Every structure is written in structure tokens, then in C-alpha cells.
Amino acid sequence: MNPALDPWRGERIGLFGGTFDPPHTGHVGMARHARDVLGLDRVLFSVAPNPPHKPAGSMSPLEHRVEMVRLAIDGADGLELARIEDEGALSFTVDLLRACRSRTRADLYFIIGADSLGEFSTWKDPAEILRLATMVVFARGREPLHLEVPGPAAIVVFDSPVFDVSSTAVRRLLGAGDAFAGLIDPRVAGYAREHGLYRRAE
């Protein structure tokens, strides 16, 4: 592979895993902010094929979610799409990080919203997650955040800016044909309409 095209080059790599159904401006804003403030070489988006917390059949097909992420980050310097996870397996964060660690010796920074961090103790092998990567947490509101961390770990918590956008809300707006200015890239919205996504809003 051309070294200039290797997504695993560098010393500090951000990882942003999720369902991205659809990806919205909050996702892109979080990735950009983490990249700039933490001096990351790049942020890699990994679209979860089968997240364990989502019922089977409740999400848009993987290929659509991947293409929407591609559109959402197109032209954004330092943000890239990486196909890391096995399509047939459940998408556990610890397995994603292990797969990343097998590809690079760079320091890994895993980006999440504070709402996800509130459920962290229920994730598969949270102690191993904290061993493999620094957690980078963004506020999704103004509620106080409390987390008991097992063992030595590194966590970066941004209390601002607040990216208070949810994919659930965006799906509802798209499904109802309501205005969504500023919440989602117009190219992503156009793709969703073209492929009939979110017609049955939650």
C-alpha cells in the first residue's frame, strides 16, 4: 500500500464507531474537534455492522450507512472511512479496538458521546477497552457525568462544545419531511431520500 494512503500511519489515531443511521453534523463536529484539539493524525469512522444493542432489522442496511458516512465526511480533512469490522459478527467496541491495535502501534483515541459513556459498565470487557484506547467523551447535554473507571485508564471529557444532535431525531425529521437544516449534510439527506430510507419514522 502507498504509505500516503495508509490509514494506520502516524502516532495518534482517532476512532469513531457507531451505527451512523444516519450520520449527522454532530458526528462530524465531534470528530473534527477531537482531531484539532488532541492533535490526531486522522479520525477513522467505522460503521458497526451488527451492534448488540440494536434489534435485528431495526437499522438501515450496512451498505447505505457506509455510503452516507462517506458522503458526510467527503472533503473533510483528516476524517476517513475505514472498513474494520467483520460484517457477520456482533460489533463490540473491544473487538473493534483489538482489530485496530493489530494494524497499528499508534495511540488510539475512541470517540463517544456522554450518553454512550453512561452505559459503559454494560459493555463487553470495559477494562480492556480502557487499556486499548483513550476514551474521548463529548457532552450531549448539560447533565452531570459520573463514571466509575476500573483500573488505570485515560479519559478525555469535553464539556464544550455540546453536540446535542441524535440520529433518532434526524430520522424522524427525514421521515416526516420536516426541516433538518444544520443537522445533516444535504448530500446525506438526498441519498436517504433517493434510497427510500426512514420513510417509516420512529
CA atoms within 13 A on the CB side of 81: 17
Question: Which cell goes with 95?
Answer: 473487538
Of the candidates 31, 69, 26, the residue with the CA atom closest to the CA atom of residue 165: 26
pLDDT band of 116, cuts 50, 70, 90 = confident
pTM of full prediction above 0.75: yes
Average pLDDT on 157-185 reads 78
pLDDT by residue (tens digit) across 59-75? Answer: 999 999 999 999 999 99
Average pLDDT on 174-186 reads 78
Tell me the three state secondary structure of residue 192.
helix
Q: Is-contact 162 114, C-beta < 8 A?
A: no
Residues contacting residue 142 through CB under 8 Å, at least 6 positions apart: 162
Task: Give just the sign of the alpha carbon dihedral 188, 170, 88, 82.
Answer: positive
Bridge partners, 137 (sequence order) = 112, 157
Tell the burial category of 192 from Cβ atoms under 10 Å away from its Cβ (0-12, 13-18, 19+): buried
Which of the 8 DSSP states describes residue 178? -
Is the pLDDT at 181 greater than 80? The verdict is no
CA dihedral 112, 117, 119, 123 (to 10 degrees): 70
Supply the pLDDT for residue 202. Answer: 43
Average pLDDT on 27-32 reads 95
